[in-house]
C-alpha cells in the first residue's frame, strides 16, 4: 500500500495550480442523470472519488467519455468529461458502490425525478461521525415521494405523474440534502422553495449548471432557493469551479513552512473566512491576476481561534489543516468543530509528531510547540490526512503517512504540486 514520505524543513516557493473542486464535480456529474442529452464538464479533477462516481453513473446507464485532449492548466492537467445518459438502465445504486463514497447516495434525487423511483443503499464515506440521511428523506418526502427503508436500502417512489413542488425548510443546513432537493425539484410539477438551504459555492455551481441545462433555479448562494419545475432538461457545457479546500490547504502549507507561492487558477472570494484566519496567523495573502499569492517570511505563526460553520463560516473541511498549522504557533489556540461530531481523529496522529493538543468536547486546545519531529502516522480521513502532510513539512526528519488512499480521494497530484515548490515529498510503494 502506498505511503507518502515527507522530509521536513524546506520553505515553499513557486506556483501551485489549483484543481477543479471535488465537491462541485461530484454533484455536477450526478446532475447528468437528469437529462438524455450530453452534459460536458470541464476542469474535472483526476481523483479517486471522481473515478468511483464514473463507475456508479455507468451502472445507471451513463455513457462517459474522457476527452482525449487534456486541458493544460499551469503545470497540472484538468479533464473534460462528457456524460450522456440516454436511458436510465438501472435505478438501483448498490451497497458495493455507494459504501465507498457518501456522495454517490445523491443519485437518489435525479433517479427519482427522472424515473419516478430509486433504490439506493445507505451511504458510507469518511468515518467522521454518524452522518445520517434524515434530511434527504424529509426533503424528498416533502416533494411527494414515498420512502421506505429496507435491508440497508432506501426505496423511494414518486407519485404518479411525478414529484410535486413544495415549500420545505431544512431544520439543519446540509450541503448534500440541498444538492439533492434542488436536483429533484428541477423536474417536479410546480414550484419548490427550499428554506435554510446550504449557501456553499458548490451549491451555486450546481445551480448555474442546472440553469444552463434549462432548469429555473433562483436564489442559490442565499438560504432560500426557488426552483420552478420544467418538463425536461437539455445538455450543457459547464466548467467546474476551483477547489476552495485545496486552495486553503496549500495556503496553510505555505503559512506553515514560510515562503512565497502563487496559488493559480483559484479565487479568494471562495474562502474569505479561512484566508482571514490564515492572515491573522501571520501570512500575507493578496489576490493576483491568476489567483492568490501567499507569503510568510520571518515572523512566527500566531495563535488564532476558529469555529467551523456552514458557508460563509470557516469550513469544516479545513479544520484539520488549520490545526496542523496551529501546532507550531507561538501561543495557545482553540478550534471548535460544530459540523461533525467525530472529526478530531487527526489529533492523536499530530500528537505523534510532538503536537500538544487536548480535547474537551467539540473544542481542541492547541498549545503551540517550537518544533515537531517526524514519525510514522496514519491518515484517518480525507482532510485529516493532509493535516499530517502540513505538519510533516516542518517536522524534523521524516514523516511517513500511511493509508494515503484517503488523500487520493481528494487531492490531485499532491506530491508533485509540493515538490515543484521545493518540498521533499515522495510516494513510497511497498
Question: Which residues are near ligand UD1 by CB under 6 A?
Answer: 23, 26, 102-103, 129, 131-136, 172, 174-177, 202, 316-317, 339-340
C-beta closer to ligand UD1: residue 226 or 316: 316
Tell me the three cell numbers of residue 247. 486552495
Q: Which residues contact 50 (CB under 8 A, 6 or more apart)?
A: 22, 25, 26, 29, 44
C-beta closer to ligand UD1: residue 339 or 394: 339
The residue from 85, 126, 209, 421 that is catalytic is: 126
* Residue 196: CB minimum distance to ligand UD1, A: 11
* Residue 400: CB minimum distance to ligand UD1, A: 26
Q: Name the residue with the smallest CB distance to ligand UD1.
A: 176
* Residue 273: CB minimum distance to ligand UD1, A: 13
* Residue 209: CB minimum distance to ligand UD1, A: 15
C-beta closer to ligand UD1: residue 329 or 387: 387
* Residue 230: CB minimum distance to ligand UD1, A: 25
* Residue 308: CB minimum distance to ligand UD1, A: 8
C-beta closer to ligand UD1: residue 23 or 52: 23
* Residue 241: CB minimum distance to ligand UD1, A: 12
- Residue among 188, 138, 181 nearest 159 (CA): 188
CA 390 to chain centre: 18
Tell me the three cell numbers of residue 163. 414529484
Tell me the three cell numbers of residue 158. 414518486
C-beta closer to ligand UD1: residue 165 or 176: 176
C-beta closer to ligand UD1: residue 259 or 410: 410
Task: Please indicate whether residue 85 is annotated as part of the active site.
Answer: no
Contact 2, 429 (CB under 8 A): yes
CA 307 to chain centre: 18
C-beta closer to ligand UD1: residue 175 or 364: 175
What residues act catalytically? 126
Amino acid at each position: 500500500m502506498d505511503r507518502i514520505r515527507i522530509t521536513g524543513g524546506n520553505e515553499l516557493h513557486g506556483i501551485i495550480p489549483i484543481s477543479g473542486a471535488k465537491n462541485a464535480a461530484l454533484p455536477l456529474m450526478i446532475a447528468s442523470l437528469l437529462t438524455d442529452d450530453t452534459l460536458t464538464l470541464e476542469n474535472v479533477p483526476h481523483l479517486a472519488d471522481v473515478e468511483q462516481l464514473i463507475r456508479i453513473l455507468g451502472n445507471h446507464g451513463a455513457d462517459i467519455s474522457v476527452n482525449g485532449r487534456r486541458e493544460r492548466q499551469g503545470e497540472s492537467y484538468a479533464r473534460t468529461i462528457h456524460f450522456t445518459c440516454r436511458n436510465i438502465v438501472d435505478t438501483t445504486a448498490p451497497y458495493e458502490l455507494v459504501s465507498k463514497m457518501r456522495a454517490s447516495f445523491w443519485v437518489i434525487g435525479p433517479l427519482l425525478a427522472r424515473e419516478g423511483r430509486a433504490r439506493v443503499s445507505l451511504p458510507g464515506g469518511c468515518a467522521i461521525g454518524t452522518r445520517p440521511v434524515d434530511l434527504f428523506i424529509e426533503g424528498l418526502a416533502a416533494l411527494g415521494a414515498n420512502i421506505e427503508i429496507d435491508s440497508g436500502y432506501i426505496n423511494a417512489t414518486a407519485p404518479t405523474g411525478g414529484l410535486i413542488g413544495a415549500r420545505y425548510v431544512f431544520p439543519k443546513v446540509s450541503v448534500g440534502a440541498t444538492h439533492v432537493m434542488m436536483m429533484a425539484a428541477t423536474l417536479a410539477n410546480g414550484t419548490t422553495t427550499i428554506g435554510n438551504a446550504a449557501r456553499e459555492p458548490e451549491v451555486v455551481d450546481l445551480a448555474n449548471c442546472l440553469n444552463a441545462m434549462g432548469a429555473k433555479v433562483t436564489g442559490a448562494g442565499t438560504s432560500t432557493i426557488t426552483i420552478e419545475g420544467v418538463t425536461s432538461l437539455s445538455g450543457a457545457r459547464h466548467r467546474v469551479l476551483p477547489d476552495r479546500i485545496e486552495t486553503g490547504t496549500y495556503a496553510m502549507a505555505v503559512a506553515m513552512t514560510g515562503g512565497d507561492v502563487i496559488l493559480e487558477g483559484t479565487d479568494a472570494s471562495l474562502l474569505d473566512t479561512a484566508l482571514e484566519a490564515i492572515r491573522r496567523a501571520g501570512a500575507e495573502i493578496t489576490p493576483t491576476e491568476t489567483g492568490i499569492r501567499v507569503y510568510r517570511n520571518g515572523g512566527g505563526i500566531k495563535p488564532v481561534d476558529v469555529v467551523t460553520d456552514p458557508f460563509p463560516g470557516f469550513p469544516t473541511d479545513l479544520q484539520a489543516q488549520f490545526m496542523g498549522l496551529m501546532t507550531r504557533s507561538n501561543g495557545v489556540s482553540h478550534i471548535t468543530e460544530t459540523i461533525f461530531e467525530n472529526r478530531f481523529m487527526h489529533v492523536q496522529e499530530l500528537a505523534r509528531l510532538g503536537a500538544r493538543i487536548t480535547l474537551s468536547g467539540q473544542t481542541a486546545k492547541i498549545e503551540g510547540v517550537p518544533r515537531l519531529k517526524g514519525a510514522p502516522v496514519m491518515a484517518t480521513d480525507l482532510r485529516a490526512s493532509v493535516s499530517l502532510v502540513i505538519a510533516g513539512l516542518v517536522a524534523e526528519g521524516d514523516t511517513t503517512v500511511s493509508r494515503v488512499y484517503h488523500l487520493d480521494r481528494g487531492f490531485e497530484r499532491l506530491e508533485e504540486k509540493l515538490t515543484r515548490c521545493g518540498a521533499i515529498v515522495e510516494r513510497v510503494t511497498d
